[in-house]
Homo-oligomer: A and B are copies of this chain.
Amino acid sequence: MPQTPPEDVRILLFDVFGTVVDWRSSVAREVAPFLARHAPGVDPTGFAVAWRRRYQPAMEAVRSGARPFTRLDILHRENLEGVLQESGLDPAAIDAAELDQLNKAWHRLDPWPDSVAGLARLKQRFLIAPLSNGNIALMLNLAKRAGLPWDAILGAEVARAYKPSPAAYLNTAEILGLAPGQCMLVAAHNNDLAAARRAGFRTAFVPRPTEHGPGQKTDLAPEQDWDAVAESFPALADRLGCPG
Binds B, one of A30-38, A150-158, A188-196, A199-207: A150-158
A198 interface residue, CB < 8 Å from B? no
Any B CB within 8 A of the CB of A170: no
Chain B residues with CB under 8 Å of A175's CB are 135-137, 157
| Cβ–Cβ < 8 Å partners of A42 in chain B | none
Return A160 CB to nearest CB of chain B, in Å.
Answer: 10
Name the 3 nearest CB pairs between A and B, nearest first. A152-B153, A137-B177, A140-B152
> Taking CB as reference atom, which chain B residue is nearest A128?
B144
Q: Does A127 contact B (CB under 8 A)?
A: yes
* Cβ contacts A151-171/B at 8 Å (1 or 0 each): 111100110000000000000
Rounded to whole angstroms, the CA-CA distance of A153 and B176 in the bound complex is 12
**Is A219 on the interface with B (CB-CB < 8 A)?**
no
Q: List 21 A-B contacts (CB under 8 A).
A: A73-B177, A127-B140, A127-B144, A135-B175, A136-B152, A136-B175, A136-B176, A137-B175, A137-B176, A137-B177, A140-B151, A140-B152, A143-B151, A144-B151, A150-B151, A150-B152, A151-B153, A152-B152, A152-B153, A153-B153, A157-B175
Interface centre among A127, A136, A157 (most CB of B within 10 A): A136
**Which residue of chain B has the shortest Cβ distance to A104 in the bound complex?**
B177
Rounded to whole angstroms, the CA-CA distance of A144 and B143 in the bound complex is: 18
Q: Which residue of B lies closest to A174 (CB)?
A: B137
- Known A73-B177, A144-B127, A177-B73; judge A136-B158 contact (CB<8 A): yes
Q: Which listed residue, B139, B140, B157, B176, touches A140 by the CB 8 Å rule?
A: B176
Q: How far is the CB of A222 from chain B (nearest CB, A)?
A: 30
Chain B nearest CB from A129 CB (Å) reads 8
Could you say which residues of chain B place their CB within 8 Å of the CB of A144?
127, 151
Q: Determine the chain B residues whose CB is within 8 A of the CB of A178 once the complex forms.
A: 137
Q: A177 CA to B72 CA in the complex, in Å?
A: 12
Closest to A11 in B: B140
User: Digit string of A111-131 for contact with B (CB within 8 Å is 1, else 0)?
Assistant: 000000000000000010000
Chain B nearest CB: distance from A93 CB in Å? 25
Give the residue name and chain of the B residue nearest to A107 (CB): B177
